[in-house]
Amino acid sequence: MSPETTPTKLCPTCGTRVSDDASRCLVCGAELGSAEKPAQPGKAVQSSRIPSVTISLPLAIGLLALFLGIGAILVFFALRETPEVILPPTETSTITPSVTASVTPTLVPPTLTFTPEPSPTPQTYYVQVNDTCIGIAVFFGVSVQSIVTLNNLPAACDTLYINQPLQIPYPTPTVTPMPSATLGAAEQTEAACEKVSYLVQANDTLGSIASNYNVPMEAIRAENGLAGDTVYVGTTITIPLCRRNATPGPTPTPTLPPPYPAPNLLLPADGSAFTLADDSISLQWASVGTLRGNEAYAVYVVDVTANKGTTLLDYATDTKYIVPATLRPTDGKVHIFRWWIVVARQTGSDANGNPIWEVAGTASAPRVFGWTGTAAPQPTP
């Protein structure tokens, strides 16, 4: 006996199966038309089908939103109440304790012990012919007093004999001063100009001061940087005496100037030593002023070691003189030379026509220098 089938029809809009006599779709609400039953087929054969649940689209969207909201709430509370999980350290992990120690170091300054360096052993020198203490001292670069003290010699050091052994100390290294710059003619003249200071008194004028000192007013203005001829009481002005006027007279012969001051020696420095490499020595001094046509600088050079008196006397109009190589000693030893400068004036000529000189100023302070001589040539056997 076959089961009884219920006639159904499909909604033309959404495809939902409804009863055969329904006039409106229960899902989409579409009109189904006439309720007349269609002609029944002869015999329908239906197969078994899986039961399905049909819901409307608005209901499906509402359920989906509800599920999403519930899931978000559950996740929120789950994350909020989840306890923190602390993993235990593994065997390879190293736990370093943090210890902060406050240590104040105490600085103890080291004790410095000064150990003096041993002095070098003095060298021995045997006295040769014509040797003197000052010559030996200059040759080795030490002082005469050190040789006298080390060898228990008298202060005059005049008891030396040939082949006498002397203990010579090693020289103390000293910083060699830089040589002085060569002064120009203008600087030398300015340095040699004699000047005096004058305190301006009441009723003084520039003309009266210039007349008293016989110096041109223009020279006083230029020396003190004055813009005019006005001077003020209580101020000090400089009078350049080297600019004095010549004394007027009936003859054209100029008035002789007062004695010149002592020249200031510049080079070489006092106690300088020259070796075999020096073929000549240059002497230099500062100018004492403008010399006249019959005046010159007298250059004196004396070989103290040879004890021959004045070795060289020459005259130069410049402030520089070259000691000739012919003055160098030829005995292979160190000779000490003393030199000084003085202004000389030619007063006439002798019977042979040679000029006659006389001193016209103060001599400079003498200086000394050492010069190593060349060895005498050995005889050829």
The first and second tokens of residue 272, run together, are: 């300088």
Q: Give long-range contacts, CB 8 A cutoff, 24+ apart: 349-355.
A: none
By CB atoms closer than 10 A (0-12, 13-18, 19+), residue 300 is middle
pTM of the predicted model over 0.75: no
pLDDT digit string, tens, across residues 21-57: 777 887 787 777 654 444 445 455 555 566 666 777 8
pLDDT digit string, tens, across residues 8-19: 778 877 878 877
Q: How far apart are CA 3 and CA 151, in angstroms?
A: 159
Q: Could you give the C-alpha distances from 114 to 104, 210, 215, 338, in angstroms and in order?
A: 31, 67, 65, 44
Q: Which residues contact 354 (CB under 8 A, 6 or more apart)?
A: none
pLDDT interval class at 252 (50, 70, 90): very low
Query: pLDDT: is 116 or 80 the higher one?
Result: 80
In this predicted structure, the answer to whether residue 243 has a pLDDT above a threshold of 90 is no
Q: How far apart are CA 240 and CA 195, in angstroms?
A: 5
pLDDT digit string, tens, across residues 110-134: 565 655 555 567 888 888 887 888 8
User: Which CATH number is 265-372 given?
Assistant: 2.60.40
In this predicted structure, the answer to whether residue 254 has a pLDDT above a threshold of 60 is no
The first and second tokens of residue 216, run together, are: 């041109």
Q: Could you give the C-alpha distances from 268 to 109, 253, 309, in angstroms and in order?
A: 50, 39, 21
Decide if 195-243 and 265-372 have a common fold: no
pLDDT digit string, tens, across residues 270-315: 888 888 778 788 899 988 888 888 889 999 998 888 776 667 888 9
Percentage of the chain surpassing pLDDT 70? 71
Query: pLDDT: is 120 or 257 the higher one?
Result: 120
pLDDT at 350: 81
The domain segmentation of the chain, as residue ranges, is 123-168, 195-243, 265-372
Query: pLDDT: is 183 or 92 the higher one?
Result: 183
Q: How far apart are CA 161 and CA 153, in angstroms?
A: 12
Q: Which of 334, 273, 338 is CA-nearest to residue 312?
A: 338
pLDDT at 148: 87
User: Which CATH number is 123-168 given?
Assistant: 3.10.350.10
Q: Are 319 and 271 in contact, with CB atoms under 8 Å apart?
A: no
Q: Which stretch of DSSP H or E encloses residue 238?
A: strand 236-240
pLDDT digit string, tens, across residues 189-216: 667 787 888 888 888 888 888 888 888 9
pLDDT at 84: 56
In this predicted structure, the answer to whether residue 380 has a pLDDT above a threshold of 80 is no
Q: Which stretch of DSSP H or E encloses residue 208?
A: helix 206-213
β-sheet bridge partners, residue 168: 123
Name the CATH superfamily housing domain 195-243.
LysM domain (3.10.350.10)
